[in-house]
Chain A
Amino acid sequence: MNVEDSPLFSHYSSVASLFDEYLDPSAEVRDHYIMLSEHFANLTTEDLNRLNEEAKIVFFNEGVTFAVYSDKNVGTEKIFPFDLMPRIISRKEWDVIEKGALQRTRAINLFLKDIYNERNILKDGVVPHELVFSSKNLTRHMDGIVPPGEVYTHISGIDLIRHSDGDYYVLEDNVRCPSGASYVLANRNTLKKVLPKLFDQCQVQLVNDYPEQLLTMLQTVAPENVDDPNCVVLTPGIYNSAYFEHSFLAQHMGVDLVEGRDLFVENDFVYMKTIHGPKKVDVIYRRIDDDFLDPMVFRPDSILGTPGLINAYKAGNVTLVNAPGTGVADDKAIYTYMPEIIRYYLNEEPILKNVTTYRCEKDDDFEYVLANIDKLVIKPVDESGGYGIQIGNTLSPAEIEEVKKMISEDRRKYIAQPIMSLSVHPTFIEETGNLEPRHIDLRIFTLLGRDFEHVVPGGLTRVALRRGNLVVNSSQGGGSKDSWVLA
């Protein structure tokens, strides 16, 4: 089938240098998109506009919002922009992604256990110990702690992109309570209501059992000898921008949504205050950063936390999900070593690719970097938030010379990576009323418990709604798509 058949696609053309998820290089619709393509071929711009409005109403009525706060605690609730056209992942590709995500999560978990106990990987020199011990997200309070089921990173989010070569690459790992799972469910819920027939035809793998899977996972990691664990979700409160997700997950798991002030610690046990008196808490799915968990141990000025919580955790009387100190594993510098980490613990070759990384401290890498700066992104290993990043193809010859000098002066401080391009996907653009190519990524959610593993089929596809924009974050005008894995 050809794209010209549909009026909606009349303005759609892929860019040769980018991977198009929908069209193959000869502008033919890819096999796993044919059903969707036929369905959209029967729609007009007016239809799409109407469906788009309907989708917004579904989101608004169900309160799928994030809050933006101004003065006087009066918040404006905004809906997370949602694109009607689902992203489809073929079964074959998904099998690889799923295996790769599990492999990576297992390796990260073993890495965390090692770092907080024997530290063999450091003693063997596979990962430089200076790198680990200088990480801001390493915490001494986890030293010697082995949580129930030996699980540290219960919930992980792996950000994948597809490069112009057609392969998936891991852009970053998120193992500090990643958010977004509720949007996966909300997107699915909305799309089913707006495009029921298409959904029915395509036989998509289900995602709506996520709350059950999450609760099952939480129950498997309860402290020893707790038969019917009391699990709760810990939120910073209604002013947090992700409050919707916290309350959504608590409600759908059927557990209490608590704040730090609802909890107290006595004799190293954690209790929540209820109208019928204290009730013991066994597992806390906390959506509060490490720093705010316990003012006795971390930031003393934190009013969100519960004093004594960390000692209750150390005593093994309550499980924190994820464990404190997991952030050391998603540190940018540690990322570089992820292939070695996978080989070291699992004795397997990595399934998902890391973006090729040149370590300037190594002589041959250093020479390559100097010769090819215009094709590379230069990143300092110890900075975060995009600080200090130089993109080679945007630099003037004079600037290139400066960067070379900067690297030569402190080779350990810098790594370099090829400039990655994100794949594009047809996306409904309200202003033009057309489907146009926009950059997308994919966040995969994995759950790890005691003898329990689960990967959410599909995950969250984020889309950069502005033309040419590579940034998919919602704060930068990004939206999301439902992601379908075909059964």
Chain B
Amino acid sequence: MLSRIANNLFWAGRYIERAEHTARYLQVNYFSALDAPISVQRNFVLDSILRMNGYNQITPLEEGQVLLTVALSDENPNSIIQTIRNARQNTRGSRDILSSELWEAINKTYHFVTNYNVEQFKHTHLFDFTQSLTELVSSIKGKIDSTLLHNEAWAMIKLGLYIERAYQILNAILTKLDDIEHLRDTGDAPSMVSYQLATLLRGLEAFDMSRQHYKRALTGTDALEFLLFNEQFPRSVLACLSKIENQLSLLNEGSSAKQDSSEFLAGKFYCELKYMTIDEVEANLRGYLQQARDHIFVLCEKVDEEYFTH
């Protein structure tokens, strides 16, 4: 496969996953703010949504602007509309190796986003937009798994998808840590902390399963442990790393991983994480999460160097 095509598919995977995370975080945080324990937190939640999206805004934005920036802005490169546009653009040049079902699912999502009524979205349809979008993305993912040969092209899309997911999970946790710290500074009740943890888990569709796993009201430690280490849960960092290693092994055609290759790095990171305890992590929580995010960065650079430049 051509390096350029591989690069396009890898990024298509990343954009598809990114759009979904943005939509869910937007939905869960916005609606939970409506019945938050303290009503002044509205602006605070909007700010959290922007930070999660990687959008640094110095002057505060009003609600409508925030929602537009994250969802339908042409200026913000991480807005949902831009990520979907990029995903479509990246797959458009490779229609000959993708199934028409997958292409149609992507195209449908693209038309849904680009034709969405902006005024309705701002005022009444936030739920409809984010909900439909997550469902459309989920349909794209279904087509990826059920209509493609599980070959190099598929492995590239999935690799991008899992790398993005690992990154977004870490990102969400870090954003919530900031939120919680901010609340502590303003002297808010501990009830607020558990409330923030619940939105974190809901934003990653992990709330129900974490409850089932621990069979009790979750502590912060539980939530972290679940999102980082629970390999049975597909939206944990450990599960993503396991998948990443699998995809890289497929791309390597099963030959053993060379030292310092991307597969080697992914495997090493996976093992480190697998035998890490939550106590060790909590000793330097922020530092550890940032370090994990750096690991993902380095891994991406390796993938780029190995697969996309020659």
Contact = CB atoms under 8 A, between A and B. Distances in A.
Q: Do chains A and B make direct contact within the complex (CB under 8 angstroms)?
A: yes
Interface of A: 61, 63, 72-73, 237-238, 247, 250-251, 256-259, 261-262, 272-275, 277-278
B4 A261 contact: yes
Given A258-B2, A273-B309, A63 B95 contact: yes
B132 interface: no
Contact of A256 (B2, B92, B100, B307): B2
B89 interface: yes
Contacts of A258: 2
B95 to A, nearest CB: 7
20 contacts: A63-B95, A72-B74, A73-B89, A247-B95, A251-B96, A256-B2, A257-B96, A258-B2, A273-B2, A273-B3, A274-B3, A274-B310, A275-B1, A275-B2, A275-B6, A275-B251, A275-B307, A275-B308, A277-B310, A278-B310
B179 interface: no
Contacts of A250: 96
A261 B92 CA distance: 17
B2 A262 contact: yes
Interface of B: 1-4, 6, 74, 89, 92-93, 95-96, 100, 152, 156, 251, 306-310
Contacts of A72: 74
Nearest to B4: A262
Contact of A274 (B2, B95, B156): B2
Given A238-B93, A273-B3, A275-B6, 15 more contacts: A61-B100, A63-B95, A237-B93, A247-B95, A251-B96, A256-B2, A259-B4, A261-B4, A262-B4, A273-B309, A273-B310, A274-B1, A274-B310, A275-B152, A277-B310
A259 B94 CA distance: 12
Contacts of B307: 275
Nearest to A251: B96
Contacts of B89: 73
A257 B4 CA distance: 11
A287 to B, nearest CB: 15
A305 to B, nearest CB: 15
B241 to A, nearest CB: 21
A63 B104 CA distance: 11
A120 B74 CA distance: 62
Contacts of B3: 262, 273-275
A73 B96 CA distance: 21
8 closest A-B pairs by CB: A251-B96, A273-B3, A275-B307, A275-B6, A238-B93, A277-B310, A262-B4, A273-B310
Kindly name the residue among B100, B308, B310 whose own CB sees the greatest number of chain A CB atoms within 10 A: B310
Nearest to B307: A275
Contacts of A259: 4
A392 to B, nearest CB: 49
A211 to B, nearest CB: 13
A316 B308 CA distance: 28
Given A73-B89, A275-B152, A275-B251, A247 B96 contact: yes
Contacts of B308: 275
Given A277-B310, A278-B310, A272 B92 contact: no
Contacts of B100: 61
Nearest to A247: B96
Nearest to A237: B93
Contacts of B306: 275
Contacts of B152: 275
A73 B86 CA distance: 11
A174 to B, nearest CB: 26
Contacts of A274: 1-3, 310
Contacts of B1: 274-275
Contacts of B92: 238
A364 B228 CA distance: 93
Nearest to A272: B2
B155 to A, nearest CB: 10
B279 to A, nearest CB: 41
Nearest to A258: B2
A73 B218 CA distance: 48
A110 to B, nearest CB: 37
A250 B2 CA distance: 13
Kindly name the residue among A251, A261, A274, A277 whose own CB sees the greatest number of chain B CB atoms within 10 A: A274
A237 B310 CA distance: 19
Contacts of A238: 92-93
Nearest to B110: A74
Contacts of B95: 63, 247
A247 B98 CA distance: 13
